């Protein structure tokens, strides 16, 4: 696994309010909320610097997407405050990184699968419970390494 963070996802209580804060209050450019046509798919992205984005995602949607805390109806405290995303170049690389993480002691929160927006992703939690998404997004080419 290359040491790369592509997206920092913040779990938020009110997506519209959070977008307003970053867009209107801080002046950060965004296309606004996208994915609202999908159940639990609404998210907003902000370009931070080349190769790094901030995503705002409702906490309940992040918990559902990552498969954490669903058995109790709510995610455990802190589990969906933040997710680090590691983008890779292919579906096969998602599977390889997920296997590497599991072999190193990670808990697979959500096995890699085709996701509703057309990519391929899975989630794992490191031994301290921090949430990582490993994702191939066909619409986001990776910078040359």
What is the rounded average pLDDT for all residues in the chain? 87
**β-bridge partners, 98:** none
Total-model pTM: 0.70
Where do the domains of the chain lie? 7-89
Let me know: does 11 contact 42? Beta carbons within 8 Å.
no
- How confident is the model at residue 3, as a pLDDT? 86
Span 63-75, pLDDT tens digits? 888 888 755 455 5
Q: What are 4-56's pLDDT values in tens digits?
A: 889 999 888 889 999 998 899 878 899 999 999 999 999 999 998 888 999 99
Average pLDDT over residues 79-92: 86
Give yes or no for residue 88 having a pLDDT over 90: yes
Secondary structure class of 65 (helix, strand, coil): helix
User: H/E element holding 9?
Assistant: strand 7-12
What percent of the chain is predicted at pLDDT more than 70? 90
- Count Cβ atoms within 10 A of the Cβ of residue 108 and give its class: 0-12 exposed, 13-18 middle, 19 or more buried: middle
pLDDT for 47 equals 92
Q: Which residues contact 22 (CB under 8 A, 6 or more apart)?
A: 28, 30, 44, 46, 54, 56
Q: Which residue has the higher pLDDT, 129 or 45?
A: 45
CB atoms within 10 A of CB 128: 5
């Amino acid at each position: 696994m290359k040491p790369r963070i592509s997206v920092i996802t913040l779990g938020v209580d009110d997506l519209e309010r959070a977008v307003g804060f970053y867009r209107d209050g801080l002046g950060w450019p965004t296309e606004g909320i996208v994915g609202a046509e999908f159940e639990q798919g609404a998210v907003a992205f902000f370009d931070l610097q080349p190769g790094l984005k901030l995503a705002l995602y409702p906490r309940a949607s992040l918990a559902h997407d990552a498969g954490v805390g669903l058995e109790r109806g709510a995610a455990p405290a802190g589990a969906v405050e933040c997710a680090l995303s590691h983008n890779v170049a292919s579906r096969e690389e998602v599977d390889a990184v997920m296997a590497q993480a599991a072999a190193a002691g990670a808990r697979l929160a959500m096995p890699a699968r085709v996701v509703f927006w057309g990519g391929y992703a899975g989630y794992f939690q490191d031994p301290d419970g921090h949430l990582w998404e490993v994702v191939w997004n066909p619409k986001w080419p990776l910078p040359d390494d």
